[in-house]
Amino acid sequence: MLTLILGALLIVCMRICDVTLDTIRLILVVQGRKYKAGMVGFVEVLIWIFAIRYIMQHMDVLINLVGYATGFALGNIIGITIEQKIGMGFLQLNVISKHHTDKIANALRKSKFGVTILPGEGSTGGVSVMVVIIARKLQGKVIKLIESIDKEAFITVQYSLPYRGFFLGNRK
């Protein structure tokens, strides 16, 4: 019985590892980091091959199949959690504040974040749209700064892949 449980736990661990790496690899692919994605993919598939080999040899044991599915689920959760902590890549924040545009822009610039202000037209008239490109890991800090000035600011966040031009992230 102990052997069966240890086998299932081994499968869970291998699946956690390979699915976590898969999550990170997919993010690297989306960001165009092909060599890093290739290296992560190599390790990911190697782990998966060992896991599937063990499963195929012990397919008649139900706890192994449950372990495989459990490892897959946990691997997704852990992979996303790790990626969120690492914060790979960049984001574009679009910020609209009814009354505090200049104050927010000045605070962001004082904190060494670049801000571009664009004119816009909303349902109630003219607005200013602040565009801020930041490293993903700084998202919480920047949003906290904006909300400390205007809790009602409209903020959208989207992934950004800088292509060309001057961008070094936070200019500290």
Share of the chain above pLDDT 90, in %: 69
66 occurs within a structural domain = yes
In this structure, the answer to whether residues 100 and 117 fall within a common structural domain is: yes
b vs e for 132-143, b when ≥16 Cβ sit within 10 Å of the residue's Cβ? bbbebbbbeebb
Cα-based angle 120, 124, 129 (whole degrees, multiple of 5)? 25
pLDDT at residue 100 greater than cutoff 60? yes
In this structure, the answer to whether residues 10 and 79 fall within a common structural domain is: yes
Burial (0-12, 13-18, 19+ Cβ within 10 Å), 112: exposed
114 occurs within a structural domain = yes
Chain mean pLDDT for the chain? 90
Structural domains in the chain (count)? 2
Average pLDDT over residues 163-170: 62
Average pLDDT over residues 77-94: 88
What's the pLDDT band for 1 if we cut at 50, 70, 90? confident
Containing domain of residue 134, as a range? 90-160
28 occurs within a structural domain = yes
Last residue in a domain, options 86, 117, 134: 86
Question: CATH number of the domain that 138 lies in?
Answer: 3.30.70.120
DSSP-based three-state secondary structure for 47: helix
| pLDDT for 167 | 57
Lowest mean pLDDT among 4-13, 24-33, 129-138, 144-153: 24-33
Last residue in a domain, options 29, 64, 86: 86
In this structure, the answer to whether residues 67 and 140 fall within a common structural domain is: no
In this structure, the answer to whether residues 72 and 45 fall within a common structural domain is: yes
Average pLDDT over residues 11-32: 92
pLDDT in tens, 103-149: 999 999 999 999 999 999 888 888 999 999 998 889 999 999 999 99
pLDDT at residue 163 greater than cutoff 90? no
In this structure, the answer to whether residues 75 and 111 fall within a common structural domain is: no
Last residue in a domain, options 42, 71, 86: 86
pLDDT at residue 101 greater than cutoff 80? yes
Whole-prediction pTM value?
0.67
| pLDDT for 85 | 82
Query: At a CB cut-off of 8 Å and minimum separation 6, what does 129 contact?
Result: 94, 95, 96, 117, 118, 119, 120
